[in-house]
Chains A and B, each alone.
Chain A
């Protein structure tokens, strides 16, 4: 294609004359994050774009076009459906069902007591056991969870953060029991504590000791569990909490850089741990904005890792990511419409080059997903992969004036936030100042106000509403008996295990926590002695203390 910019400008002026005479619909022409959009994009909008340095080829620096040279022609993205509920046995059945239906990676959802480091019989766990995920109290539950599932063959993602070290050790020990050495295990622990303080709010310890545990995990993983993704640096929850796309991008990558700096400060070589960091983004409803976000994310990560942190291994430069469609974009009204929303969102993730994808079920606004809803969500991905042709061509929207201009804009906005965070003294200082929390709260409030005032349309909620709506889908119910059974199992375990050994391993962990030794081997000892998650976390809580948030709104 050849063109002269001045010719385009003059042509554009003629068009503008004509266009000015026309009246537009009464509609806010901006992205879902509130970026105003032009009505057309031309080469004028991307004059500075340098193909070789800013885009390049897939599998090459700066990876704007994707991290693999052949992308989905080599292997489709992993269709990874997040699931877990009730007890280890019920979840194990669901995993086997998903594997039999063609899912290619497991993703474990834990219940709130497990996420917060409480055993199922703790007073704070009352009513929460097995509700939003699976209850795991000890290695025994972890063994049941993966019973009959060969751990050398599946990759497992575990959505666990504050107590990630403990659940990871249980997984390693469960693998050992199956005869699988830790070197062969593949998977991910989310282990992203910074976004907990910022958005998801499932913290236990204060930031400093939390970061120490994470760097202990880095050091242990590169020696013993080399194929494991040690942190999934997550924007998903930041977006769900109400951030804009640019905030999601900027805050997530800022957190990622904080982990890089923490690892380097702990004396590790950046190339020893950076290749095992992965990312996790939200796929919201604005198709082009999301695609631009993923492309910008890869370019920014590559540039910072290479230029700022001096990484030499190409794998350190590559931003690999998992995507989940946006739960917060779904509506309780006319829930079947959520199938359509999710399909568009999934499309953005694939056009943006995701490595794995979870598609939400239509009923997730209402309850945990039912089996039928889960199947439709998975089928959505399969239809996209095998029928639509979108996976045939790598980064097919590159060169679109709009998508490239928006990708540049995303990068600029992120860099502005990095400068602001730096000015505030870094990520930990900015968390302490409630900077991220306030930015997100402001964006969330503004969005809600716009929906309330119908400045933003949500189908079925404030427009095209069905007045006589009643729900026609079956919701999954969790039997309260499950909590009682789980507590009974836990009590049985406590009475049958070698409690002397449990006490010894917990004491050793307590001493190490107060010192500087790597905690992972000691946590592994506790886990193998069948110490419970709650007991292990309590020991660390006594040494490290408990985080407390300033409640702002």
Chain B
């Protein structure tokens, strides 16, 4: 039997909007995943360190500060530099469509979930796209 999917939910940036991050953390846990939540105000370096230390399969970044075009690529690069490029990056928050297209096109993020999505949709997506190794 494959082990449980491990996910790090992280809040990069300076804002404190953690409602979404905490709901998703609990939702994924209730769906049987192992969830680590970083807490607020994490730097990209702290997030990447936590992802590697916790040996997660995916990192979920919750960003509502408008800094997504800086933060996603930065975390993507840091994971690669640390030989952890196999960790999948997903995201959520107030991120305009144009930016989502740009982020996905460059491979900086695998999927982005925007307001109005259900927890079950996210769970299904992770279950079919993230394979625990």
Contacts and interface: CB of A to CB of B under 8 A. Distances in A.
Interface of A: 112-113, 115-116, 118, 124-128, 131-132, 196, 200-202, 240-242, 328, 331-333, 365-368, 441, 444-445, 448-449, 451-452, 458, 461-462, 471, 475, 478, 549-553
Contacts of B15: 112, 132, 202
Among A115, A202, A365, A445, chain B packs the most CB atoms within 10 A around the CB of A445
B14 A118 contact: yes
B120 A549 contact: no
A286 B67 CA distance: 33
Nearest to B115: A332
B9 to A, nearest CB: 8
Interface string B95-110: 0110000000000000
A39 B44 CA distance: 53
A149 to B, nearest CB: 26
A128 B13 contact: yes
Contacts of A448: 23, 27, 119
B96 A553 contact: no
A551 B96 contact: no
Contacts of A552: 22
B77 interface: no
A457 to B, nearest CB: 13
Given A452-B120, A551-B39, A365 B115 contact: yes
Nearest to A470: B97
Nearest to A471: B97
Contact of A240 (B14, B19, B43, B94): B19
A478 B68 CA distance: 13
Interface residues of B, number: 37
A445 B26 contact: yes
B16 A128 contact: no
Contacts of B78: none
Given A331-B115, A444-B22, A452-B119, A124 B16 contact: no
Nearest to A441: B22
Interface string B1-32: 00000000100011111110111011101000
A144 B61 CA distance: 36
B121 to A, nearest CB: 9
A551 B38 contact: yes
**Top 3 A-B pairs, shortest CB-CB distance:** A201-B16, A127-B70, A551-B39
A462 B71 CA distance: 31
A200 B16 contact: yes
A454 B118 CA distance: 10
Contact of A127 (B22, B71, B94, B115): B71
A448 B114 CA distance: 14
A470 to B, nearest CB: 8
Given A451-B118, A553-B26, 19 more contacts: A112-B13, A112-B67, A113-B14, A126-B70, A128-B13, A128-B66, A132-B15, A196-B16, A202-B14, A202-B15, A242-B19, A332-B114, A366-B96, A367-B94, A445-B27, A449-B119, A462-B118, A552-B22, A553-B9
A365 B94 CA distance: 7
B65 interface: yes
A112 B14 contact: yes
A116 B41 CA distance: 10
B22 to A, nearest CB: 4
A436 to B, nearest CB: 13
A451 to B, nearest CB: 8
A196 B26 CA distance: 22
Most buried by A among B9, B17, B114, B119: B17
Nearest to A126: B70
A524 to B, nearest CB: 26
